[in-house]
Chains A and B, each alone.
Chain A
Amino acid sequence: MNRFIECVGVGKIYPGKTGPVEALRGIDFICEAGSFVCLLGRSGCGKSTLLQLMAGLEKPSSGQIAVAGRELDGPSPEAAIVFQDHGLFPWMTVQKNVEFNMKARGVPAGQRRDRARKFIDMTGLTGFGDRYPHELSGGMRQRVGIARALTTDPKALLMDEPFGALDAQTRGRLQDELLQIWETQRTTVLFVTHSIDEALLLADRILVFTPRPGKIAADIKVDLPRPRTQQSDDFTALARELRGLIGAERDFD
């Protein structure tokens, strides 16, 4: 197996107004290359914090994180992030937004344009290159965010509740498309969600987080055959188990 991301004893403490807040404690976990891992938990359980740490956007207060064999010191060139609120630049067209990550790496303009078009087509945005983000639906905006992340051929996609703000139908469609991308590009995906069903539909492996302080309460392998449906008995059994683990009365979807 190929260790792609390694966390050893990772903790994060934020200085709060009423004293320090421990967001994460003692996170040990190894993510294999090419796997689809969901970080599942209720809000405030530290799952997004861990993603920010693995993205190199924040430093852990204790422990180490290594990506692709190198200890993190700032954002890794091997990983790309997709944010929940999509993080598109409102003053740039779809085309320019998708080009941005390449521009940051100094890819020449012509090459940038062609490559951005390729990913715009791939994410079903053909013909929308000249539009501005505010002219798009929520689902399309998130497609732009995903297209932008893919342009630099990242070995890992770090996704922070990317479909959290979408309606159920759009969400379902984007989940299918993401799985297709994952299968064709062979990227590693780390996916933060608070939805049990979403985690079970997508992941090879689910890390269940519990709050105060945020820690991994369970590490569950999901062997359900793909494509998955919510209707199977195995699915409902696993869902029930996960519900018990995150301590929710019901799936808050």
Chain B
Amino acid sequence: MQLRRALGLMPLALLLIAWEVAVQLKVYPPVLLPAPEKVALVFVNDTATVLDHALSSVARVLVGIGLSFIVAVPLGLMIGRYRLLDMLTDWSIQIFRSVPPISLIPLAILFLGIGDKPAIALIFLSGLWPLLINTIFGVRGIERTLIKVARAARAGEFLVMKDIILPASLPAIFTGLRLAVGAGWLTVVTAEMIAVKSGLGYMILNAQLTFRSDLIFAGIIVIGAIGLLADQLVRIARGRVCRWQEGLTATNE
């Protein structure tokens, strides 16, 4: 674990050194490329600004991905279970998931106006497809014998869904959630550069207009750090919920 942390931090430390060297060598004037210590000062002097914007972004992703979870998981369980639903939806899913949510920003603004609504709608869409596809994949991967056991026991459809299909699909659902959170986080920053007046995306864009390159760098660092944190949280949750999987898979994360 310690080795893992040391190795994980090494490239980041190297990057920091390279940054400092570039500043010292004056590759770019300080207005464009601020020194690391100047960026660090942002977290002291502008704590409230950074925190406010970060919270707005996080809240949007939570709501958007929460909505995709509520829609995608039950839908995916049904599509995975019922052949007819699969035939009905397969092509549509493949078409719509190929459309980058960012490309829908103009439409989102036309239909939903400016503000949280279009941003959340886009985050919802970017999380929907990975969650949906992974849930379906999870249902498909169920051992056939287990379904036979349920049929032989004459278990009702609701019990089969709740006690067999859902738990069997959970590892895949968590994989989907990891991808969805990542995609949602990418989308929120972009959407905030266009549709709303708060959030890290807005903060960065605004900082560019006011020549606060230190704030831009600070924003990027926060975006990356929250992305890492969110991913770790989903991984920990997965480990808790899918404890029964320990020893079944070859690689332990």
Contact = CB atoms under 8 A, between A and B. Distances in A.
B165 to A, nearest CB: 11
Contact of A101 (B148, B153, B168): B153
Chain A, interface size category, equals 20 to 34
A105 B154 contact: yes
Contacts of B155: 100, 103-104
Contacts of B151: 57, 74-75
Given A83-B145, A89-B167, A100 B153 contact: yes
Contact of A104 (B143, B145, B154, B170): B154
A85 B147 CA distance: 13
B55 interface: no
Interface in B140-191: 143, 145-146, 148-156, 159, 163-164, 167-168, 170
A172 interface: no
B248 interface: yes
Contact of B156 (A81, A101, A104): A104
B244 interface: yes
Contacts of B149: 81, 83, 87, 89, 100
Nearest to B155: A104
A228 interface: no
Interface string A15-48: 0000000000000000000000000000000000
A90 interface: yes
Given A80-B152, A89-B164, A134-B247, A103 B145 contact: no
Interface string A55-87: 111000000000000000011010011010101
A135 interface: yes
A103 B163 contact: yes
Nearest to A101: B153
B24 interface: no
A172 to B, nearest CB: 25
A10 B226 CA distance: 64
B233 to A, nearest CB: 22
A182 interface: no
A104 B149 CA distance: 11
A201 B146 CA distance: 30
B49 interface: no
Nearest to A97: B149
Report, nearest first, the 8 A-B pairs whose CB atoms are least far apart. Answer: A104-B155, A104-B153, A87-B149, A87-B145, A91-B167, A91-B244, A101-B153, A81-B152
5 contacts: A75-B154, A77-B154, A103-B163, A105-B154, A135-B247
